[in-house]
Amino acid sequence: MDKCNDIVEKDKLVYSSAGRMPYYPLVIAKGQGALVEDVDGNQYIDMLASAAALNTGHAHPHIVAEITQQAQKFIHYTPAYMFHEPLVELAQELIDITPGSFEKRVVFGLSGSDAIDGMIKHARAYTGRSIIISFVGAYHGATYGSLSLSAISLNMRRKIGPIVPDMHHINYPNCYRCKYNLDNTTCDLECFKELEEALSNYIPIDNVAAILIEPIAGDSGVNEPPQRYLDKLYNLCKENGVLFAVDEIQQGFGRTGKWFSIEHFGIEPDIIVMGKAIASGMPMSAIVAREEIMHSLEAPAHLFTTMGNPVCCKAALATINVIKNEELIKQAEELGAYMKKRFEQMREKYEIIGDVRGKGMSVGVDLVKNRNTKEPNKEAAAKICYRSWEKGVIIAFIAGGVLRIQPPLVITKEQIDTALDGIEASIQEYIAGSIPDDVLNVAKGWTN
């Protein structure tokens, strides 16, 4: 680990502390498909797809070729003043693959965060209202607007106020840790009543522009709301002139076994925000929304010089082609179900696994101190992550003690088996008490 440690030490001398929360000192040298090699020549199976931004895996040859060819023609031409074909082609593709057959328009960005800010601007402009409602535990980004909609870490809010006003946060439905102790197949959706109560006490609905939700929550622990909850939320929006906006930045582009996770619920949102995997790791995001919403702002209300960069557009078009041609959505559904089943079998063996959740290749393994109290087991998560990395498997943990399992969709069944064997062996070593406490100084994960 000589070179890795050396670079990590140098990094500490030159790079800002606000943007790093490492789980282990991994310094990547190259990657191919679901495999990664570090600068010391160690091999890993990437079960994190570099945090869900590489659904097509590392260095996919078709995507690399498209990026290279475009870079040789022209790297940039600002879309504010001029036009280029890759942008038009990509916008059309996004209109075609997103739910809803109504007129839509697209705008590009460079990160999920700036696209969330764009959503706030368009929703406010279109409705003439200022409030946006989002959910506790959600991460929506690090720009002022997106961090104001996030409610996951106090560190994101300390020292930088005032943040953007009129952002309200409601509890996300959490069926595993239901605070009303109810069964979600028979309950009366007490969690939805919390929203209704907020709307009758302190959030005037006639000033709500949009409700933003992740249809399958990511960083708050891979939570899945009941269908009935999303149906009620959608109806509430429609009855009150509120836009229904979804953040698909983490779960989009096939990850959950559909193009977009909202499709599992049969709902057509007014605004879809996407990023991460859209261009296989090239800096790109997009907002796709009803035409009338997108046309509520006039230039230069929302433009960035390098938005819709043609190299990134080509990477995104190639990404969509690969997802279609290699049937990666089907692969996410089928291999994802296999992966989830293997974790469920582990749950039968190991008391520390309280719950296994998720769809397709977005799975959360919730580690608990006690199955009755369901208290999150952050120590177990940190140690198991670290030991898995030592065994050549890249995972992370979120939301206290939830192992985040999101491999590239191109991963093979054999690679999944090898990775899960490594994770299972790490769980066994944790239970046997053979992972030392000092790894906790490295594998901190999210901090508050």
173 lies in the binding site for ligand PMP (CB under 6 A): no
Instruction: Build a one-symbol-per-residue string for 103-132: x at contacts with ligand PMP by CB under 6 A, - elsewhere.
Output: --------xxx-------------------
Q: Which residue has the tokens 């593709």?
A: 93
218 lies in the binding site for ligand PMP (CB under 6 A): yes
Which residue, 168 or 342, is less far from ligand PMP as judged by CB?
Answer: 168
Residue 432: CB minimum distance to ligand PMP, A:
34
Among 23, 108, 139, 244, binds ligand PMP (CB under 6 A): 139
Residue 48: CB minimum distance to ligand PMP, A:
12
Instruction: Judge residue 203's burial from the number of C-beta atoms within 10 Å of its C-beta, 0-12 exposed, 13-18 middle, 19 or more buried.
Output: middle
d(CA 247, CA 115): 10
Task: Name the one range near ligand PMP by CB under 6 A: 20-28, 29-37, 134-142, 156-164.
Answer: 134-142
Residue 142: CB minimum distance to ligand PMP, A:
6
Residue 424: CB minimum distance to ligand PMP, A:
27
408 lies in the binding site for ligand PMP (CB under 6 A): no
CB-based burial, 124-140: b 16+ in 10 Å, e otherwise: bbbbebebbbbbebbbb
Is the CB of residue 86 less than 8 Å from the CB of residue 62? no
445 lies in the binding site for ligand PMP (CB under 6 A): no
280 lies in the binding site for ligand PMP (CB under 6 A): no
The Cβ-side half-sphere exposure at 26, using a 13 Å CA radius, reads 29
d(CA 345, CA 421): 12
141 lies in the binding site for ligand PMP (CB under 6 A): yes
Residue 435: CB minimum distance to ligand PMP, A:
27
d(CA 175, CA 220): 13
How distant, in Å, are the alpha carbons of 8, 39, 195, 385, 423 from that of 26? 8, 9, 42, 12, 17
Residue 219: CB minimum distance to ligand PMP, A:
6
d(CA 391, CA 389): 5
- Full DSSP string of 65-99: HHHHHHHHH-S---TTT---HHHHHHHHHHHHHSS
Is the CB of residue 190 less than 8 Å from the CB of residue 180? yes
What six digits make up the tokens of 59?
A: 């260095």
How distant, in Å, are the alpha carbons of 89, 194, 235, 317, 418 from that of 411? 28, 41, 38, 21, 11
62: left (phi over 0), alpha (psi -120 to 50) or beta: alpha
Residue 272: CB minimum distance to ligand PMP, A:
12
Which residue, 60 or 255, is less far from ligand PMP as judged by CB?
Answer: 255
Among 127, 250, 319, 377, binds ligand PMP (CB under 6 A): 250
Q: Long-range contacts: 156-165, Cβ < 8 Å, 24+? A: 164/120, 165/130
Q: Which residue is nearest to ligand PMP (CB)?
A: 112
Which residue, 93 or 219, is less far from ligand PMP as judged by CB?
Answer: 219
Among 46, 66, 117, 214, binds ligand PMP (CB under 6 A): 214
242 lies in the binding site for ligand PMP (CB under 6 A): no
Residue 278: CB minimum distance to ligand PMP, A:
10
Which residue, 275 or 422, is less far from ligand PMP as judged by CB?
Answer: 275
Using CB under 6 A as the criterion, which residues of the chain lie in contact with ligand PMP when the complex forms? 111-113, 139-141, 214, 218-219, 247, 249-250, 275-276
